[in-house]
Chain A
Amino acid sequence: DAKTTQPPSMDCAEGRAANLPCNHSTISGNEYVYWYRQIHSQGPQYIIHGLKNNETNEMASLIITEDRKSSTLILPHATLRDTAVYYCIGEERYGSSNTGKLIFGQGTTLQVKP
């Protein structure tokens, strides 16, 4: 299983870009990296996922290093409503295969400040 490592907390000023780092040095070649967030105690919300290439959607951008050992989630213009716990998630491995089951860590608590 790709164990992911994230800083426990980060602050960001409202309107600025939030850059959330994640280390996943044990990731396998065909293993996805997913990002979810959890606002208060609500159910986690999908943000984005990637394999090798950088990805962008309406919520965020995901930058994956060429060696795939780390990635950065970018929220381009953070708002107060982006305050949440952000999870960088790897997949469970079974033998030489990736099962698709998400392995949650403790995430990064992002506080967006006015």
Chain B
Amino acid sequence: NAGVTQTPKFRILKIGQSMTLQCTQDMNHNYMYWYRQDPGMGLKLIYYSVGAGITDKGEVPNGYNVSRSTTEDFPLRLELAAPSQTSVYFCASSLAERGETQYFGPGTRLLVL
């Protein structure tokens, strides 16, 4: 039982490049989330999903896209990287929407130059 895994651990992008951050969970959770964390700040929700085929925007969705074709996977796509997207990205999953633990992955550190 690996929990929530994320790849890559670290990536440097040039302005305008694209990339996909991968997130996989093996706990059969319906709810999955993407957060970003800027230095010294708390996490902010980018996108979330309540099940395969269903996604919705969080607090800071601009510049990102997501898809959820399976229960296990929830990739985050950056289409045109900008320096403002330099951050640490965390994926999480939970069994239910409220009153349940969110399990977080180890994070992806992204630097856009």
Contacts and interface: CB of A to CB of B under 8 A. Distances in A.
Interface in B88-113: 88, 90, 92, 96-99, 101-107, 109
A51 B99 CA distance: 9
Contact of A43 (B40, B42, B92, B101): B92
Nearest to A106: B42
Interface in B23-81: 33, 35, 40-45, 48, 58
A7 interface: no
B107 A104 contact: no
Contacts of A87: 42
A101 B48 contact: yes
| Size category of the binding interface on chain A | 20 to 34
Given A41-B88, A43-B107, A45-B104, A104 B98 contact: no
Nearest to B42: A104
17 contacts: A43-B90, A43-B104, A43-B105, A43-B106, A43-B107, A44-B90, A44-B92, A44-B102, A44-B104, A45-B104, A46-B102, A46-B103, A91-B98, A101-B58, A102-B102, A104-B35, A105-B42
Interface of B: 4, 33, 35, 40-45, 48, 58, 88, 90, 92, 96-99, 101-107, 109
